[in-house]
């Protein structure tokens, strides 16, 4: 499915992950952070602006190639890859579908270069799977908008330079809430990080609560129609979900490789455990599920690329993106769990990598839409609902 050039890009990403990411993954997991220098190195390779057009300073990479790179980086460390996925997927997509020419010319080159890191502030305590229930408000002022509220589970919310914040702006004619999207400088004193979550997995990825205590922005920071922000967010999440699916495939591949290697080294009853039928059966099923998830993901990526090549506004395929995320995330969790089982007692120990992979894999079933929400999205498409 990948061209020769795209395979070379994937190989470059795998080489970087093997040398610069994977050796530090355990330490990052324990410390709950990774250094800015690794993001700088990724930016030098162009991996912070893979889907940004070349005219805007990015690589203008085809979607399948982007997904292959994301798999390779996630094979190295899923927490770091999550930051890269957000920077490359939903944020540039949001600017592409809703930003003005001036907004795109200002923000996209900064994001692609890695000089500016972005975050996506949509969810709230009582508005996770149903973002339309958000209570954060943006009120008209003489010079623009004043935003008040609190956002939860914001990845990179403390590290980011700009936050794309979604807030209620009133009520639409159909009775539904009008929601706008605003680019907020995180240096504004009214933008405050009030806490960080202690997560089960992906510990090096910062997940924070953000308080917006009267942030004032001008009209130039409003993206698109102030009543259509939620539709922009959902479209941006479609491409974001493909990035998470690639992350899940990378986790699954890492778990498969660790389990395969261990099965050849571990000896019981006078032979390597790879010789036992039970272990061979596990490894074969693990390989099949990882391969199937990858094939589906790359197929959807190719379809997205074809649809979006002539008309960027048509890029997302919502149900297909949901299928890819659902299949890949559940495969990653299952495969990582099987890897722990193959390692036996050692798999349950922090000294071995598979327990971290299992913790990380579970996150892919939850963020950017739970598996339950993915099934609802798919069901609507199957039943012909708009």
| CA separation for the pair 4, 31 (Å, rounded) | 38
Q: Between the CA of residue 99 and those of 35, 165, 352, what are the distances in Å?
A: 31, 14, 45
Handedness of CA 89, 95, 98, 104 (dihedral sign): negative
Tell me the C-alpha distance between 223 and 31, whole Å: 36
Q: What is the distance between the alpha carbons of residues 178 and 227, in angstroms, rounded to a whole number?
A: 4
Separation of alpha carbons 274 and 266, rounded Å:
8
The Cα 213–Cα 62 span in angstroms is 40
d(CA 262, CA 58): 40
Query: Tokens 């339309």, residue?
Result: 132
- Give, rounded to a whole angstrom, the gap between the first and last alpha carbons of the chain: 31
Q: In this structure, how many other beta carbons lie within 10 angstroms of the beta carbon of residue 80? A: 25
The residue length of the chain stands at 386
- C-alpha to C-alpha distances, 19 to 75, 203, 207, nearest whole angstrom: 12, 21, 26
The continuous run of DSSP H or E covering 152 comes out as strand 144-155
- Spell out the alpha helix ranges (H) of the chain: 4-16, 25-31, 36-44, 63-76, 78-88, 90-98, 101-113, 229-265, 277-310, 318-343, 354-364, 371-383
Which is nearest to 360 in space by CA: 198, 254, 203, 244?
203
Catalytically active residues are 368
* Separation of alpha carbons 173 and 193, rounded Å: 35
Residue 166 to residue 298: CA distance in whole angstroms = 31
Kindly tell me the sign of the dihedral angle through the C-alpha atoms of 36, 364, 119, 381: positive
Which residues touch 314 (CB under 8 Å, ≥6 apart)?
A: 307, 308
């Amino acid at each position: 499915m990948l061209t020769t050039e795209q395979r070379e890009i994937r190989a470059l990403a795998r080489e970087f992950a093997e040398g610069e990411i994977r050796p530090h993954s355990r330490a990052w997991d324990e410390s709950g952070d990774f250094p800015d220098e690794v993001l700088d190195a990724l930016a030098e390779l162009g991996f912070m602006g893979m889907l940004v057009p070349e005219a805007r300073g990015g690589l203008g990479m085809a979607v399948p190639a982007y997904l292959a790179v994301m798999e390779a980086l996630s094979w190295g460390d899923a927490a770091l890859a999550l930051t890269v996925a957000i920077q490359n997927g939903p944020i540039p997509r949001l600017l592409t579908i809703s930003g003005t020419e001036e907004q795109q010319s200002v923000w996209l080159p900064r994001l692609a270069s890695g000089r500016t890191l972005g975050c996506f502030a949509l969810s709230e305590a009582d508005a996770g799977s149903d973002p339309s229930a958000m209570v954060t408000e943006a009120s008209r002022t003489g010079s623009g908008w004043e935003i008040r509220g609190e956002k939860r589970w914001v990845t990179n919310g403390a590290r980011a330079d700009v936050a794309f914040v979604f807030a209620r702006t009133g009520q639409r004619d159909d009775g539904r809430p009008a929601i706008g999207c605003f680019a907020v400088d995180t240096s504004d004193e009214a933008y405050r990080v009030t806490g960080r979550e202690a997560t089960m997995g992906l510990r090096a990825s910062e997940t924070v609560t953000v308080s917006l205590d009267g942030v004032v922005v001008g009209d130039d920071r409003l993206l698109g129609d102030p009543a259509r922000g939620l539709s922009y967010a959902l479209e941006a999440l479609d491409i974001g979900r493909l990035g998470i699916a690639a992350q899940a495939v990378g986790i699954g591949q890492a778990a498969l490789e660790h389990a395969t290697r261990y099965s050849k080294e571990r000896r019981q009853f006078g032979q390597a455990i790879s010789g036992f039928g039970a272990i061979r059966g596990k490894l074969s099923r693990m390989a099949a599920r990882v391969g199937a998830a990858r094939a589906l993901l790359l197929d959807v990526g190719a379809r997205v690329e074809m649809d979006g090549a002539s008309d960027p506004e048509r890029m997302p395929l919502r149900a297909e993106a949901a299928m890819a995320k659902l299949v890949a995330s559940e495969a990653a969790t299952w495969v990582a769990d099987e890897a722990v089982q193959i390692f036996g007692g050692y798999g349950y120990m922090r000294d071995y990598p598979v327990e971290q992979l299992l913790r990380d894999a579970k996150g892919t079933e939850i963020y950017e839409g739970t598996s339950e929400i993915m099934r609802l999205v798919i069901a609507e498409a199957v039943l012909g609902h708009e």
